[in-house]
Chains A and B, each alone.
Chain A
């Protein structure tokens, strides 16, 4: 095995077997899935507890409207409001008092409780009453079949957005889904460049402050030492991404199955009870999303993600390595880090800005400039970028990545052996010229 291979293997194994890496890699998918599922789960826990709502309906017209749900049981009562207020007995969670015809006097109904009334309870009550009032009102017009006529005239409209493919084929598209996919990959690249780039810097600095570097460069070329570290950490990053991807998908499906059993009937029931017309619309929406997801070419996206990830990482990690080699202590890195961070953060903002207008001049130029292209291009990719732009952007990225690697290697080679005071930028430029 050649030198660089030995270095890559050792760096990789060392990083991957670190406790912090294992913890982060294993816990992150749980966190992601938890963020998605916990609200559902919490909502479910609350619904296990069935609460009594006492309905004091002096008109006798409304009591029958209230159907029990998983969370609330509606009980009619003859007692007066005062009786409940004075009684120590807490059998009633809330008291709904209706004292007159609500069509004439909307203020005649009120909900009382010793606790804050939960939003879903008032919603259930409101929906039940307003539906009744609506049909009561319609009845007052004395027009036969009015209700049916009105139902008929309710038209649900949602414009279809279609994209013409190169072959003239039409397919459904959705800007919002594409934006989400683009944004997610942009954030991933941004996060990984910063995280793993600074890990490279830490590693270089560690070898320098440990004073082991002089021993190392007496047996390996400084270039091999630097590239070995950069490549190994890149692999660590890809490993982490891959594990996150697999675990998150796995957990997501596991979660769906687990939740699915208990969630569906309830959601169905609630949906039926509250909004009879909402279900088909929801189904339509989901179907639409699936359809749009189907039009995004994930294999292609993944392919470009990998290309931009590698190029962007190579570019920035070698700059970070050069910084790590030039300074002597952690505190001194700030001065050199700041301009680099400004670049990266600018790229992120340019990326976010490009979502609104993925073919605009900002998006166009920033996806060609090598220092911003890995981040900005990821936003644009789901929106079908012309092939020549992609090729030009990738070519520019890789040419400059190799240029920067070469330059950084020159700085690194001199920097790692320079102890003492922090060098100025002018001195670092001189290092490049050293033989």
Chain B
């Protein structure tokens, strides 16, 4: 069941097309990565989902029906351009924003108290935002995003500007939200974190969807038949290479040699191993799946016109 779907969303700005018939499917309870280089149209799509701007054509569906104005209360959005009122007291500010998200005063206060406790920032309630460190400001920002307990969370570049410790805290929180059954859209350039936490992705380049699917499936789809092999070192001058596979690199550490090999596609792993084991013992054998980073770069540069 998809929590959110967009169908052929088109958005034109003066002189350029920001989104060209973009369709995405975000399954319920999953972490969905919305990827793409700068200027691909990610933020525009997110703003359309948030009903900040309207699409020129196409539809956004939530829970199977067309999105309605009050759907914004079911969305928690942490924009890439983060900011809060600098001169306003932290608690007062959080209360104000929570109430704009539709929470009654008492409920907002109760929930905020709990979150502030959880992040250990209760003593900052009456301080002005300016006085807080950047990391703490981001904690406040996170609390504001989740305070109304939305079913869909959208994080636009959530890790930019966070220090490693806070990145980790944030990751844990996001995974916890997933466990609670929330649907999460995660827009980022940080491919390492995509591999780590995303279930599905859609890659947008130049206003169009160029790739989408499950992360594991995509990585398998882009497999290059490359393997890492570790064997006892062979005598100088002898080579393992055959018609069935090529050696890409060889790394000798005294009596152990590490190899990267690429096999012919029609050869099965079993046949490959049988062939190698005829000439040598095998310590380890693993397939090297392409990283999301490589897939990202290949797909993006592959879809860009080369004459530019």
Contact = CB atoms under 8 A, between A and B. Distances in A.
A343 to B, nearest CB: 27
Interface of A: 1, 3, 6-7, 10, 14, 210-220, 222, 414, 417, 419, 427, 430, 434-435
A8 B40 CA distance: 37
27 contacts: A1-B99, A6-B96, A6-B100, A7-B100, A210-B85, A210-B86, A211-B81, A212-B84, A213-B83, A214-B52, A214-B81, A215-B83, A215-B97, A215-B144, A217-B52, A218-B50, A218-B75, A218-B79, A219-B101, A220-B100, A222-B52, A417-B53, A419-B81, A427-B14, A435-B53, A435-B54, A435-B56
A203 to B, nearest CB: 11
Q: Which 9 A-B pairs have the closest CB atoms?
A: A211-B83, A214-B79, A211-B81, A210-B83, A218-B77, A212-B83, A219-B100, A430-B14, A218-B50
A430 B53 CA distance: 15
Interface residues on B, range: 20 to 34
Contacts of A10: 96
Interface SS majority for chain A: helix
Among A7, A213, A218, A419, max chain B CB count under 10 A is at A218
Interface in B90-146: 96-97, 99-102, 144
Contact of B72 (A1, A214, A219, A430): A219
B82 interface: yes
B47 interface: yes
B17 interface: no
Interface in B35-57: 47, 50, 52-56
B42 to A, nearest CB: 14
B161 to A, nearest CB: 12
Contacts of A216: 97, 100
B84 A219 contact: no
B297 interface: no
Contacts of B79: 211, 214-215, 218
B47 A3 contact: no
Interface in B4-62: 13-14, 47, 50, 52-56
A218 B81 contact: no
Nearest to A413: B53
Given A212-B85, A220-B100, A435-B55, 5 more contacts: A6-B100, A215-B77, A215-B97, A219-B100, A435-B54
B12 to A, nearest CB: 9
Contacts of A214: 52, 79, 81, 83
B248 interface: no
